[in-house]
Structure 1
Amino acid sequence: MSIRLDGELVATTMRTPGDDFELAVGFCVTEGVLHDAPVRTVRYCGQGSAAAAEYNDVTVETGGRAPTPTPRLGPASSSCGVCGTVAIDELRERLRPLDVEPFDVDMLAGMADRIDGQALFSTTGAVHAAVAFDRSGEPLLLREDIGRHNAVDKVVGRLHLDGRLPAGDLGLWVSGRASFEMAQKAWAAGFACLVAVSGPSALAVDTARVAGLQLAGFARGDRINVYTGD
């Protein structure tokens, strides 16, 4: 799917169809291309002879208030996006350290048991999920996608459209590992913590430490490893 900002191409990503507007908005938020410009509308804008082409092109409209984006060269992978293309020093230039309270570690250890509603995973066993949850551990919003980064962007996009960003009162749970890009996106959305089923990369730990983001991994059953913000 091609993602545009005011009609200008930002990126192309391999995604699971569904929640496309949330995906486009979330990508623009986490990649920093909105620059705080308000989202006025989101719409399909594809053209072509194939009926499906119409739904593979989405533009986020700000009425020209967002700067003209620089498009990515090449598609974003469905596995982990373009991990590592944005250095931590560059993130420091556009993102402030988080001023949030860490979550209770004992509560985080049981998050996996609270996650329900992964319909696509139950059917295919081959998609990832991202979940926003509150400080009591209650899951509030779940999205699925073949790509972990897309699932996160769908959650972030929904929260942005609902006026709930920055998400300093929420945590983000992700299936799979916590990559650099997962930490980057959690930081950009203002989440207080990032919890992954598998382990984090070293760059994700470094990013979380700079961001002031609580980072936990191997959250399975009653076990959890906390890497930052404990």
Structure 2
Amino acid sequence: MDAHPAVPCTLPEGSRATPVRRYRAGQWHSAQDVLADEVPVALEYNGVSHAVMLATPADLEDFALGFSLTEGLVQHAGQVYGIEADPGTEGITLRLEVAASCFVQFKDRRRSLAGRTGCGLCGAESLGQAVRPVAPLSSQAQFSPEALISGMGQLRARQPLLAATGATHAAGWCDAQGQLHWVREDVGRHNALDKLIGALLRRPAEQRQALPEGQGFVVVTSRASHEMVQKTAAAGVPLLAAVSGVTALALQTAEAAGLSLLGFARGSDFSVYTQGHRVAGET
């Protein structure tokens, strides 16, 4: 990847242009650069503040729904009745109306979460909140090495924010044949995955029937941490392939959830850490 990507004619959502001075080969030059936006995004549930995350202000309804599911604040999309984005001078507030049963649980475990792009556990009040149990996956899906390689290989071409800024992560969902269908980007890897999960949940019913989450896999441009595994499993997706390495806690979480965890998925190579039976030909 170039140190300074070319400035596109039309800036992608969630980015802005800025003048810069560049020093190259002993010479100074004036140029235009593109920056990924990173703003505070507050999430409120039935009028009560829950979390403030730093995120790229694009696909925010996807983010709100995905975050709500993967944080255990709702059990399914039908419990979210409405999402309203309210821009302000200091950031954006996402106001969610959720079912009364969810709101009772939310108040019982309310926390003040000061989000950062590199940390998904900031603000947890106890060890139990930091590492929550994951329900075991029931999917019997199996994927060929060729499908996994194809899915990861398509991801780079579907990242307009990265192409413009060089500063964002992405998460994508592929079907069993390795066709990449949905991609979301963000400055934070957790946020990108939450946006992707929210996009999957918001699909029309006919798309969900034709391409169920449990028959596909997720590809991400980051390492595979515990929370990336937890979020993938919470969405009912049976396999996570990451371009970088995996952590020890991610491996433990994947084993407990029955999730297939792949790391160093680059080019035609990858490493299988857990549940290798889902990769055809792995013995």
Where on the TM-score scale, by shorter chain, does this alignment land: which range? 0.7 to 0.9
> 1:57-206 counterparts in 2 under 5 A?
57-68=93-104, 69=106, 70-82=109-121, 91-92=132-133, 95-100=134-139, 101-115=141-155, 116-162=157-203, 164=208, 167-206=213-252
Corresponding position of 1:227: 273
Gaps of 5+ in 2: 1-40, 277-283
Gaps of 5+ in 1: none
* Aligned residue identity for 2:57: P
2: CA distance between counterparts of 1:21 and 1:215? 28
Corresponding position of 1:210: 256
Q: Which has the higher contact order (CA 8 A, sep 6+)?
A: 1
Farther-moved stretch of structure 1 (174-183 vs 100-109): 100-109
1: CA distance between counterparts of 2:85 and 2:98? 15
Alignment TM-score, normalising by the size of structure 2:
0.72
* Aligned residue identity for 1:134: D
Give the structure with the higher percent strand.
2
Corresponding residue pairs, total: 223
Farther-moved stretch of structure 1 (68-77 vs 18-27): 68-77
Corresponding position of 2:83: 42
For the structure 1 residues 178 and 90, does the alpha-carbon distance in structure 2 shift closer, same or farther, using more than 3 Å as the test? Answer: closer
Query: For each residue in 1:138-181, what CA deviation from the matched residue of structure 2 results, as whole angstroms up to 9, or x when unmatched?
Result: 01100000000000000111111225497211211100100111
Query: For each residue in 1:85-133, what CA deviation from the matched residue of structure 2 results, as whole angstroms up to 9, or x when unmatched?
Result: 66599633xx421011242234213433222220010011110000011
Query: For each residue in 1:184-212, what CA deviation from the matched residue of structure 2 results, as whole angstroms up to 9, or x when unmatched?
Result: 10010010100000011010011001101
Structure 1 residue 6 displacement after superposition: 2.0
Q: Percent identical across equivalent pairs? A: 36
Selected match of 1:23 from 55, 63, 73 = 63
Q: Secondary structure at the match of 1:67?
A: helix
Cα pair 1:80 1:181 within 8 Å, conserved: no
Cα pair 2:46 2:103 within 8 Å, conserved: no
Give the superposed CA RMSD. Answer: 2.4
